[in-house]
Structure 1
Amino acid sequence: MITIKSFGRKTIFFGIFLFCIQLLNAQNGDVRKANKEYDKYDFIDARDIYLMVVEDGYHSAEIFKKLGDTYYYNSDYTNASKWYTRLLDTYPNDVDTEYYYRAAQALKSISNYADSDVLMEKYVALGGEERVVQVFENDPEYLKSLGVEPFKYVINKISVNSKFSDFGPSYYKDKIVFASSTKDLSNFKTHNWNNLPYLDLYEASIDKYGNLSDPVPLKGDVNTIYHESSTSFSKNGKTVYFTRNNYTNGKKKSDRQRTMRLKLYKATISETGDWVNVLELPFNDEEYSVAHPALSLDEKRLYFASDMPGTFGRSDLWYVEILGNNMYGPPVNLGEKVNTKARETFPFVSEKNNLYFSSDGHGGFGGLDIFIIPIDEEGELGKITNFGEPINSNFDDFGFITKESEGTGFYTSNVDGGRGSIDDEIFRFVEECVMTINVVVRDIDTQELLPGAEVSILDENYQVIQKVTVGEDATVTFTKECDTKYTLLGTKKDYFPNEKTLVTPDEGGVVDVTLELKHKEICPPNDLGCRLSLQPIYFDYDRSEIRPDAAVELAKILAALRKYSELVISIESHTDSRGRDSYNLKLSDRRAQSTLNWLVDKGISRARLSAKGYGETQLVNHCGNDVECTEEEHQLNRRSMFIIQDLNSTVTNN
């Protein structure tokens, strides 16, 4: 029995360059101590230093690379393109092929497509291959089991929902008509079941993006002091079928239990746009309810919900043939294939002749769910399918309408509330083919998970769409479009960034991606040169004068000393093992002093500097005396180090 009390309203109407300080084999106590020491110097910003170096007139391919990368991997493509362009223009012979690709991506992201295309052509000409694109096959387990197309939906509440119940949308020309309890409680009669205003029908404009605006009550004689809801309009927009309480010509009527039932009515539109000529349909009755009209595709049949005699459950779906002149055939129950011992309600027939309705008797996610069943040319019904998530929920979902050719529609749900029909709201959905992209971030060498890493997903123009910091499981899930190119970028402090490009399948599916990050060089806490990614400082054979290429690297130390007045450093120079030990000691000392003098000549106080040569006494590898090594291996020992002393300490020059 459909009543206000028992059926409910919805059923009635229903790095920058930061370096690691942790030694690979350190004990936990050593790690904590090292972290504490490192934090003391964490204020040193390598990018600021590099910018100062360039401003002072020093530059190199390495500096331009580092500056470009710093901005590129922080999604600042305007600055990234600036420094990559300087790199390509100034040092064309010192550019790794990969940088043409990065520069092209940076330019594309700021809409400089012409220059981006030129660089991509250069990238390919230099031997660069099109970015490794991971293409995935469809995962049929993921496809929607309830329908033909493997789609999901983007869902949003409409903007004209009120603080009370809003539900039962229907299409009317370029508008949406819906029921709403929006009246001021102080001025209007309320329904004693829940002390809310009675429902009226409203129409709202809909723009090309599906947004609703300017809701106003239907003009004319449709709305009364009692409930109106659930409409179905003829295609020419001249006739409306609607639901109302048993209230005709200013008189209300009740059944034998003094319950005010629901009835179907019809109205036509006048030349002034008012709905007039309200007629009650002849198959109504005071003893049962008839509600929720839905015209068939050819408008020769009217579907509805009722608990009239012959109903299997609390309410069934029925139809009548429309004969004209307010004449109709006898009500026909849709039968046990559709109707259950529970509730079937809110029918809607789509442009593809599918019958959508809501039921809590066919099994589903909970509450009323939306179901679909095709209707053939003879009016026979096909197989019923639950419409599935995300539209169906464990709350009540009903009042579904759709324009299938556009992949859009509206429906009602109280999924965001906990007060039943009071929380009924209208939602708009857009049908989209989407992919689930599961990303996990790992250390490339150890394969350990990297919690706290940041994962960004970028579109084909290299614009950041979404950025997420991963939790303890080092994973993140993105839901994105099918047949689309994306770039996944992983970053984490003390790790080199890494990116991976993929193209999603042209049908829904699941993609699993692993981003592997490489740990940066392990720097002692007080090694300023390591912090600033200092390149080797070369000296000519048996000489101690500062070469131009070494001056560029020393300019980084100079900029740091200028920027951070509290820094006090010790310069330590080393040689390889070739030559006499005693000579190497003197040579390294001359080179350390030469470095100190270069900084003093640039204005740095000697009180902040010390210098010492160690010759070949502190080799970093096995290349000692009489050991055969490559030139590259020997070079690792020919180094200068810049060690941060205790802040504000005084040093003695050696």
Structure 2
Amino acid sequence: MKTIYSILLIGLMFTGFAQTSKLNSADKKYEKYSYIDAIEIYEKVAEKGHKSTDLFKKLGNSYYFNGELDKSAKWYKELFALNETVEPEYYFRYAQSLKSIEDYENANKYLDLFNKNTTDSRGKEFAKNKNYLATIEENSGKYTLKKTDINSEYMDYGVSYFGNKIVFTSSRTEGAIYSKVHDWTNQNYTDLYVSTLDENNKIGTPENFSKTINTKYNESSPVFTKDGKTMYFTRNNYLKKKGKDDDKTTWIKIYKATFSDNEWGNIIELPFNNDNYSVGHPSLSTDEKTLYFSSDMPGGYGGADIYKVSINGNNSYGNPENLGPIINTEGRESFPFISHDNILYFASDGHLGLGGLDVFESKIINNKFTKPENLAKPINSPKDDFSFIINNNNSGFLSSNRDGGIGFDDIYTFTVCNQKITGFITDLDTKELLPNSKVTLFDEDMNQLEETTSDENANYSFNIDCNKKYYVRAIKEEYDAAEKSFPPQQESGITELNIELERNVFPIEEGTDLAKIFNISIIYFDLDKWDIRPSAEKDLQKIIEVMKEYPNIHISIRSHTDSRQTHKYNELLSDRRAKSTMEYIIQNGIDRKRLTSKGYGETQLINKCADGVKCSEAEHQQNRRSEFIVVKMN
């Protein structure tokens, strides 16, 4: 992201020293942050075979601070190939640059070296969380992301909501009030632009936001009060003339403007600005009593930190307060945003991420910040991702210089992918609803995530992430547990996943047919046969287990045939089948005294297939069955 480096100027300053007349010229441009011009000269010198630690540092830094980390990787590689001692910060920068080209294996090696050569918190964080990439991968898929139609070939970033409109920053030439090229970017100075936003989040054609706000210098990163009458925004140190520090460098400041008589005016700079450092990228708390911002003012933890300051009214403000080491690192933290549900979102290259600037979130609880969490993919990429804002409809905007964009920085829109699993727990056989069933959610590696109980309607639900596979398991007393997989979902929605449980404990009384109660398949026999089919043995074992578990149960085995053959033949055949079934059970350890058997022939058909009725073989087979009736319980 070129803007965060070239406009906010977050980074360390380096002193150049003469090599040749060309290097002298490049060093002067480098020291004035004109990195693009400096790169052109440095690369010509390098192409002629000149090698030095200073040259490769400055070439790497020029690309690094200009947000082109894929190119800085080349020159930092050359730097380390010299095998000379360098400041530990270069291990970190090279690691970040390697991440931008997704060489995470080597990036982690240099982060390890960085940690071994410094006491920096960034190195310690890596040492404690070397599997951070796996964690980011696990947390990915919560958002859907797409490019907007307002991007240009230039820098477009920093969206803010303004009623039913959005206001954003751009260095485009079309619509610009002034045509003035910035030395640091070789693009126009940035202006604020405005577009309508309809109920379907369709963005209208951008227009220049205001002739009174936009000047011939940089304006960016606005934030508006809910009533739309006050705005805070970032601008170069310029009111009626350009302000500079002692080294003739113009930094950035936060300004306030009010809307009156249909135009923006009464532009004042905030009292905690300073000519010698940058203050920018304001954001308001939900109650609009606190202003958050980023600054490289002295006394911070790193290149830029996030601060907050109370808004007292009457253009009075408290003292800026650093958010502390939970949020800020020795790296760069910027672009704060406070959501409607009191979450701080911000961009950082100091916390562990995918490369460049990543977006993080930290919940604000009792005025304290929770440990920042990486928003993962697709919000974050190997390049710079920043200026994240979200509304109460769980959609918002993101800025990024990731691959596949149109310009240098592009604006993306996103929605939070909200997926819910819901369903009913029922009896497999009776379809009866089963309230108070325990339902457990697992990830694809069968790690337990959440547990609930089905309600009085036997319903359960889980809120889950999109693009991930899950398993849901249900269990209830007197039932076998059952489990179903839930495939990854690509879009928000509610998906039904019903689970049926098979009963394993049943109330038994006299007259009960165990074949029905225990869902035992009918004991079928081949035509004119009475020997037990191998396929029936599994079901008979269920009867045997029940009789072993309940030693006082006495059972009557009743066998039936189809209507083919004569009544007499069928009566004899069914009796043989009943006796054959009984003998099988006796052979498996059940006392003969507990069993009786009888054949009923074709006298108790269960379908239409009587004599003279044409039926299929399958229909006839339904009548060739056995029953197991409980006749005594003691």
TM-score by length of 1: 0.44
TM-score by length of 2: 0.46
Higher relative contact order (CA 8 A, sep 6+): 1
